[in-house]
Structure 1
Amino acid sequence: MAGHSKFKNIMHRKGAQDKKRSAQFSKLSREITVAAKMGMPDPDMNPRLRLAVNAAKAQSMPKDNIQRAIDKAAQAGGDDYEEVRYEGYGPGGVALIVEALTDNRNRTATNVRTAFSKNGGNLGSEGSVSHGFERLGLIEYPASAGSEDKVLEAAMEAGADDIESSEDGHTIWTAADALHEVSAALEKSLGEAETVKLAWKPNITVEMDESGAGTLVKLVDALDDDDDVQTVWGNYEISDEIMEKLG
């Protein structure tokens, strides 16, 4: 388990899938509402909203739920969310970036700080770890999207910067400001992606042993369980063998 995929893999590893799915829909809905409120309520006219809607579709979120989240942005007196980023260190000196959407900064900061302190981590100041990451666009396709050569050719034609393929699927990286354009081009040749979002890609990674990995997984789980937390990024690598043992 490595890089960008860690959050998804930890999420899938956890047990109560129905509860997890409901929580994920809630996070996706919040992002859709915020994106719609910040721009036009039409995904074709609002790149951020289009990315949010695509992410929701990739998780099989019902169309009615998506539309309700868009409509909620126009309602008077609705919740006012703001984007907040937290940075800190986990077990073994792993760098973590936590992205949240919150209507109460004090509550979220307290919850994030508690998750770090109870699970072998330390919350740092903004900028304390993000210098070790690049802000990039991330697009993920399943292995069924095509061969490595096919996806590579499509990614190059779409203007992507890098591609990583494995038996699990294809990961495509773009410049942050090119994400909407590249994802739209790829959709025409490969269909809808599983993931389309802005990401924090680490410049270097830390290989975790079994002990450190166990504590780290608990920390990421604790952060993920917070309703305000949207995504957790880190610079760690956990082998498949260790993940199976932790399963």
Structure 2
Amino acid sequence: MSGHSKWSTIKRKKGVADAKRGAIFTRLAREIVISSREGGSDVDSNFRLRLAIDKARAENMPKDNIERAIKRGAGEDKDGTVFEEITFEGYGPHGSALMVTCVTDNRNRTVPDMRHAFSKYGGNMAEVGAVGWQFDRKSYFAFPSSQLSFDKAFELGIVVGADDVVDGGDTIDIYAPVESFKTIADALHQVHVHPDEAGLRMIAKQEIELDVDSTLKFMKMVEAIEELDDVQDVFHNVKVSDEALAALEAA
């Protein structure tokens, strides 16, 4: 399950985020808008919003952009733009399954863009529910092990009711029930841990393992989908082996 966080770390090291700063700001702003719209603009009572703002600050997003996104979500900025969340389900090559979450202001743009990205790499879109049953929705946190040792993270996980705490070397991953998200986030905050990633994720109930070449081709598909403007997250059931991670890092 830790392959995703390892690949995210590799992408950060390769500077992919810096090369697409504008796209990242757009994605972060949309997450702030949706969070503010659903839970209000008070960061003390709306943890999803607090998390979205923390992510934006970590990417050096300008303060004015953050405040404008909060106001837009709360209905204080009447710019006429209405965003909605959409989850797409689909199949990739070699029996792979994907769940894609989007935030869009134009469904008629997003749907064909998504369909094209799937078909270009040998995949296809699926009906609602056709793929979702293969995934469990869980709270997910990933943070550097330099901030908290695995032993202490494991102890914290037991106290807050985590399902699993994974030692990934440089990174520690915590998986927990959805309803435990705020409890774990607050517990990490109290011990001065600042997650690189935190949110609700779709975790595959059963992963499939491909050979290195097939994994590389599959990850190209994932990257192509991730690069679409409206995409927030991509989840899949492919286990990325250490050999495939090394090949991805060298690419």
**TM-score (norm: length of structure 2):** 0.89
1:26-175 → structure 2 map (5 Å cutoff): 26-73=26-73, 74-175=76-177
Query: What residue number does 1:245 align with?
Result: 247
Equivalent in 202, 213, 218 of residue 216 of structure 1: 218
Shift of 1:18: 2.5
User: Would you say the 8 A contact 1:89–1:96 is kept in 2?
Assistant: yes
Equivalent in 227, 230, 233 of residue 228 of structure 1: 230
User: Would you say the 8 A contact 2:68–2:77 is kept in 1?
Assistant: no
Distance in 2 separating the partners of 1:194 and 1:15: 15
> Letter of the aligned partner of 1:87 in structure 2?
E
Deviation by residue 1:125-183 (Cα, 9 ceiling, x = unmatched) = 11111101100111111121222101111222233232111213111112112201221
Deviation by residue 1:181-221 (Cα, 9 ceiling, x = unmatched) = 22111210142221110000111111121231222122111
Distance in 2 separating the partners of 1:53 and 1:7: 23
Shift of 1:26: 1.4
Of structures 1 and 2, the one scoring higher in RCO (CA 8 A, sep 6+) is 1
SS at match of 1:145: coil
> Letter of the aligned partner of 1:46 in structure 2?
N
Distance in 2 separating the partners of 1:233 and 1:10: 17
Shift of 1:3: 4.8
Moved more, 165-174 or 63-72: 63-72
Query: What residue number does 1:21 align with?
Result: 21
Q: 1:220 to 1:141 in 2, by over 3 A?
A: same
SS at match of 1:193: coil
User: Would you say the 8 A contact 1:55–1:197 is kept in 2?
Assistant: no
Distance in 2 separating the partners of 1:144 and 1:13: 17
Q: 1:23 to 1:48 in 2, by over 3 A?
A: same
SS at match of 1:144: coil
SS at match of 1:98: strand
> Letter of the aligned partner of 1:118 in structure 2?
K
> Letter of the aligned partner of 1:173 in structure 2?
Y
User: Would you say the 8 A contact 2:136–2:205 is kept in 1?
Assistant: yes
SS at match of 2:88: strand
SS at match of 1:186: helix
Shift of 1:20: 2.2
Distance in 2 separating the partners of 1:184 and 1:41: 19
Distance in 1 separating the partners of 2:158 and 2:57: 25
User: Would you say the 8 A contact 1:10–1:221 is kept in 2?
Assistant: no
Distance in 2 separating the partners of 1:149 and 1:108: 44
> Letter of the aligned partner of 1:166 in structure 2?
G
Distance in 1 separating the partners of 2:172 and 2:15: 26
**Structure 2 residue runs without a partner (length 5+):** none
Moved more, 2-11 or 231-240: 2-11
Query: What residue number does 1:198 align with?
Result: 200
Shift of 1:11: 4.1
**Structure 1 residue runs without a partner (length 5+):** none
